[in-house]
Every structure is written in C-alpha cells, then in structure tokens.
Chain A
Amino acid sequence: MKKTFKFYISLWGAKIVAGMLKILRKNASFLPGKVAITMCKNFLGIIEKPEIIIGVTGTNGKTTVCNMIIDALEKCGYTTINNRLGSNVDAGIASSLINGATFLGKTKKQVAVLEIDERSSIKIYPYVKPTYIVCTNIFRDSIKRNAHTDFIIDIINSAIPKESKLILNADDLICCSIGPENKEKVYFGIDKLETDVEETNNIIRDIRTCPICDTKLKYEYMRYHHIGKAYCPKCSFKSPEADYLGTNIDYKNSTIQIKTKNNITEYKLISDNIINIYNMVAVIAVLTEFGIEAQKLKEIFDEFKIVETRYSEEEVNGKKIIMHLAKGQNAIACSRTFDYIKNAEGKKAVMLNLDDYFDAKESTEDIAWIYDTDYELLNDDSIEQIIVGGVRSKDHYLRLLIAGVPEQKISYELKEIDAVDHLNIKKVDKIFILYDVYTVEMANKVKTKIEEKIKQS
C-alpha cells in the first residue's frame, strides 16, 4: 500500500508518543500503535514490514513459542521485530512495527515474529500477511471473551491469508480445521506416549464427533481433552500425519527425537511438561520450514533454557515451594496445571488462589469455568491438603467436594494470606501456590508467609 501523508503524520505522532512513554518509563507496547491506527485506519497495511513474517497464534503457548523463535533466530544472526514485551492485538503489533521502523516508515529488521491474539485476527490479517502462521492449539478459553472453539475458528478462518504457510498441531483436530483453503500446510505432533489412554475423563473435549458424518470419533490414542490421534470409524476422516513428529522421548536423559520425511534428529528436551514439549516441536517445525538446518537447530536447543515465567521453584529446609501460574477463568490451563501437580512426585499441598482480580474487586465472578475444569484431578492420594483462598473460596470448596475430594483435606479462607494458617507443613514435601496473571503480588506474599512458617517449624 502507498504511503500517504496521513500515514506519515500518524507514524511520527506514534513515535513521539512512544518516545514520551519511554522517558516516563511507561510501557510503550500498546498506545503508540493505538494512536497510529486511530489516526490512519490502514496504518498496519501501509507500514513496511520485514520480508519474512512469522505469526504465532493459538489458545495456549503463544508466548513461549514466540520467545523460542525469537531467541533462535537471533542466535542465527537475524534481527527481529517482535511483540514479546507487549500486546498481541492490532495496536500491539502496530507498536512493534513502529518501533522497528525508521522515520520514513521503512523497516530496520529482517524478520517479524508476531504473537497474534486469535480474536484480533480480523483486525490484523487483512494488513499483515505472515509468511508462516503457527497455531499451537485451539481450546476452550475464557467464557466471557472467547465463547467456544467454533467462534474462534470462524474468526480466524474469516481472515487468515490464503497464501500463508500454516504450521498446525496434528494432534489437535480443531487446530487442523484452520485455513481450509490454504494450500501450504505442515503439521507437527507427538508420537504415542506411555501415558496416553484410550478414553480421557476430561470434562472438556471440544471435538467428539466426525465433522463430516457426525459419527463418534475413535482414537488410536488420547492424551488430554481433545488432543490425540483420531479417526472416524465410518468415513475416511482422520488426524493428519505429522511432518515433524516428536518421538522416543527420554525423560531420564532429557532427549527427544524429531522425525521428518528425510531424517531423525535428536534434541535436548527443554522441559518435562508435555505442553512445553509441544511448544518445542512447533518451534522446530517453523524454523526448519524457515530454512534453518537441523544441526544448527540442535545446537541452539542444546543451549536453550526455557524461561519459565509461569513456574518457579525454591527449597526451604527441605520443603519445595512451587509457584505456578494457572490462568484463572481458563479451564484448560487450570486442568493442565492440576494434572501436572497430580503427577509431581512426593506428598503435596496445593494453595488455590484463582479468583479473578478485577471481578473480585468490583463484581461477582462467573464461576461457570470451575465446572469446566477438572478439579477431579486434585482428588489424589498424593495430594494431602488443598487450601483455597479468596472471595470465591466457598465456590471452589464446593467444587472440590463435588469432585470427590475428602472434606478433611480441604480448607478455605476469604483472604488468601489467611489461608496459609491452615497449611500443615509436616505432612508434605511440596507446596504448590497457584495464582492468576494479575495476582502475582498476592501470591508472593503467600509464598513469604509459607517460607516463614517452614523456618519456624
């Protein structure tokens, strides 16, 4: 698109706003883009973009995948524009492009790596046409904002550029329904695991019947929720074969093999969490498509440490305190976290602090999501205590009872910090503190109080 006078004015205006925000040490990842788009509607289309654009979308794992792609590309000597520090809606992407552009709107970088919010697809894809689009997975998310998976898929499909090469999760049939008209698609997946089952008990399984003939799908194996390898017993519909297949995962030696049509390469496993292993395989798929050799990728992954912003662990007098972000109002993220806790070694206590920060302040939170969440996973012999804190604690308490957790294992308090008083340190080896994105400060206070409690005991 041709650069107009209006475009330059908005670009300069946005750059001035960004400069001012920087002086004030405020976050400049949203407002400059917002200013530019408000002043010039097709700003995103006009501003020059790097030749290669990698878009990352999907319900969970976007940030982790973006971070790995950016780090890997920079290790290979590429310069990138990215929105890793900011917003993933249109204004955030505009802000990143403004930051990476000269005063004449020319791009200064070689590759753009953009995290793209699914619901913002319509505002982004008409102007920004990624060379590659990775979709990590599509799950049920916030009831309020995301409704259900059909809604999200319809939004993405109404806008996704047909020329983009799609990198999709073969084990996620909903994700595979993205871009029906896109010609170029490659798939990543993870081979059958020992822990896979024939039927999962997860409450949410958003695709259960064949999209062609409505027959109940069968699975070669199921992993969790709707993730697994499916086929229709009546027609020819089935999960696609993975072009990048993670296989022979060896947790003991921390290795994974990635099988492609041409070769098998062994990589260092960056995490023992299956969610992150999916993220890793997705990154290998997109970077291989981008043109980085397997050997070089292997070297990069050897040095990789996954930056776990969602997970931190420390030890006090032999007891482990684990902070785990659980993304409240997101039934899948919480169910996966509960599953992780259930499978963690040792005797455990769980501090559940999942209230929505904003609703707790000014409204009553819609707790429907906790009935979509597998609290049943917390009903396990290895979990000795579950302590709920927050204004909605009575609801979580009831949910735990309905999940079959014995009454004597559960306590609750309306204030998160008071809930720590119920913790019986002697009974457990590990204490998990679950918290939401906006309640880090509170979670840290809970942690400090637990540390003191351990030291005193």
Chain B
Amino acid sequence: MKVEVLFPELCNLYGDTQNMKYFKLCLPQAEFIETALDEEPTFVKEDVNFIYLGSMKERTQEKVIKKLLPYKERIKELIDKNTIFLFTGNALEVLEKYIQKDDGTKIEALGIFNSYAKREMFNRYHGLLLGETQGIDIIGFQANFSFSYGENEGQNFLNLKKGIGFNKEKNIEGIRKNNFIGTYLIGPFLILNPIFTKYIMNLMGIENPELKYEKAIMDAYETKLAEFKNPKIK
C-alpha cells in the first residue's frame, strides 16, 4: 500500500503534516512517500492508494499549481479510478478553476472542479465547524483568507450543521468526487475525526481497521463533539 504526501516541505501549515504522521502510526505496513516540489510525484508513473496535500501559504499555492498543471489529466484519471485523495485547508483551491485575489486578478488553477476561490488577505476567518457525511459527524476548524464559490452542486464533502464551510451563502463544505476529498478544515483533521479516519482506511481496503491510541482518540473526539453540538458554543 502506498501513500504519497505531496510537498510536505512547503504544504505544512497549521499542524496539517501531523495527519500523515498519525496515519503512518495506523498503517505501519504502508509505504509513505514524501515528494518535494522539485521532484516528480510518484502518482505520475504509478498508481498509489492515497494522496495527501496540506495547507500552504498563498504564494506556495501558485508554485503548486504550476507544478501540478502538467499532470492535470493524470489527476483526473486517478479521481475517476477512485484513488483516495485528501486535500486539507486551502489545498483544494489548487484544483478549482481559479483563485481570485484582492485586486481582482485571477490565478488560473487546474480547473478539475468548476468552483473558484476568492481570496481576501485582510479578511481572515477563523471558526469551528460541525458537519456530516456518510452518517459520520465531522468536527474541525477553518482558518481561511478565502472561500469557494460557483458550481459545486452535488459535489460537496459535508452537509453543514455549524460553521461556514465553502462560503457564507451555502450550507455545504468541501469537495467530494468519488474518493477525492477536499476540505477547508485545517490541522489534524484525521486525528480530530477518528471515525472518518477508519472510514478512509476502509476505503483503502482494510477490513476492521484499528486506530493507534484508539481509546484516547475516541475519548477526545466524543468530548469535543459534545461541545460542538452544544448550541451555546460558537
């Protein structure tokens, strides 16, 4: 089993890299490949089971777009082939149509998805989020300079119960197409959501997956979930 972590030397904001550190503890048999920006991604020439990309600085987004653009068709093919992708924070914007900057100019992105991002560097949003997918409650935090707009019908990752998600107008969060999962949630997403982590391990073909530190991680999840469900907590 192969897990490819894209550009961890650059795409590592907000504790995002720990998703893969923890995932490795749960999957001791899997091979984890860390690909740097000046290397060719492993997924280009061979199939991998899971591809991760974490939060990055805005200038890095442009570098990552430039890097991945030649592999657009390959990424589409992998999504169609049900390869599992997890893109956290602003990583999902790399695959949208474009990112619009404060001054109105646009950074053309890969355009695999039809939505686009609008960035406002002086309007930072930070808040908690509660959502649901496949009957699993998902919790987490968002920290954005940008939100996503445009056509995303039927391709959302979460149904929103609390928080903002994709943008302030719609009650949805993230992008889900086949096994591509893109979420604005930052940081230790898999650690915050152990049931969903198991779900992903299931998708990878692991029957009865076991989480590392299962008791502690479930305890932390249930405590936090109860807080998130409390209407007083915003």
Give A residues with C-beta under 8 Å from B. 140, 143-144, 147-151, 154, 203-204, 208-209, 214-216, 331, 362-364, 366-372, 394-395, 397-398, 401-402
A363 to B233, CA, bound (A): 5
20 new A-B contacts at CB < 8 Å, known A368-B141, A371-B15, A397-B220: A143-B187, A150-B59, A216-B36, A216-B38, A331-B15, A364-B228, A366-B143, A366-B187, A368-B14, A368-B186, A371-B16, A371-B191, A395-B220, A395-B224, A398-B213, A398-B220, A401-B213, A402-B18, A402-B191, A402-B213
Determine which residue in A147, A149, A370 has the highest number of CB atoms from chain B within 10 A of its CB, and name it.
A147
Q: Tell me if B13 is interfacial: C-beta within 8 Å of chain A.
A: yes
| Interface assignment of B156: CB less than 8 Å from any CB of chain A | no
Closest chain B residue, CB of each to CB of A368: B187
A209 to B59, CA, bound (A): 13
Interface residues of B (CB under 8 A from A): 9-10, 12-18, 21-22, 25, 36-38, 57-59, 63, 121, 124, 126, 128, 141, 143, 145, 186-188, 191, 212-213, 216-217, 219-220, 223-224, 227-228, 233-234
Please tell me if the beta carbons of A364 and B233 are within 8 angstroms of each other in the complex: yes
Query: Which of B10, B124, B216, B228 has most chain A Cβ within 10 Å?
Result: B216
CA distance in complex: A299, B224 (Å): 55
The 5 closest A-B pairs by CB, nearest first: A368-B187, A371-B15, A371-B18, A366-B141, A368-B15
The reply to whether B9 and A369 form a contact with Cβ atoms under 8 Å apart is no
Instruction: Determine if A144 and B143 form an interchain contact, defined as CB atoms under 8 angstroms apart.
Output: yes
* B21 partner residues in chain A, CB cutoff 8 A: 402
Of A209, A331, A366, A394, the most chain B CB neighbours within 10 A belong to A366
Nearest CB of chain B from residue A230's CB, rounded to whole Å: 14
Q: Which residues of B contact A371 (CB under 8 A)?
A: 15-18, 187-188, 191
Asked if A143 and B126 make an inter-chain contact with CB atoms under 8 angstroms apart, the answer reads yes
Q: Is the CB of A208 within 8 A of B9?
A: yes
Complex alpha-carbon distance, A282 and B224, angstroms: 43
Nearest CB of chain A from residue B206's CB, rounded to whole Å: 20
Separation of A216 and B35 alpha carbons in the complex (Å): 12
A331 to B15, CA, bound (A): 10
- Chain B hits for A215, CB < 8 A: 38
Instruction: Known contacts A216-B36, A364-B228, A402-B22; decide if A151 and B213 are in contact (CB<8 Å).
Output: no
Residue of A154, A363, A368, A398 near B234 (CB, 8 A) is A363
User: Chain B residues with Cβ under 8 A from A369's Cβ?
Assistant: 14-15
Contact status A364-B128, CB under 8 Å: yes
Residues of A within 8 A of B217 (CB): 398
Question: Which residues in A have their C-beta under 8 angstroms from that of B128?
Answer: 363-364, 366
> B234 contacts which chain A residues (CB < 8 A)?
363
Q: In the bound complex, what is the Cα–Cα distance between A394 and B221 (angstroms)?
A: 9
Q: Is the CB of A214 within 8 A of B121?
A: no
Is there contact, CB below 8 Å, between A148 and B15? Answer: no
Choose one: B12, B59, B126, B220; the contact of A144 (CB below 8 Å).
Answer: B126
Report A-chain residues with C-beta under 8 Å of the C-beta of B220.
394-395, 397-398
B35 smallest CB distance to A (angstroms): 13
Bound form: Cα–Cα A208–B234 in Å = 37
Bound together, the chains give a CA A27 to CA B126 distance in angstroms of 30
Closest residue of chain A to B189 (Cβ to Cβ) is A368
* Interchain CB contact under 8 A, B126 and A401: no
Pick from A214, A216, A394: contact of B219, CB under 8 Å: A394
Closest to B15 in A: A371
Cross-chain contact A147 with B37 (CB below 8 angstroms): no
Q: Please judge, given known A-B contacts A371-B188, A398-B216, whether A148 and B13 are in contact too, CB under 8 Å.
A: yes
In Å, the complex CA distance between A331 and B121 comes to 23
- B191 contacts across to A, CB distance below 8 A: 371, 398, 402
CB distance from A177 to the nearest CB of B (A): 12
A363→B127 CA distance, assembly (Å)? 10
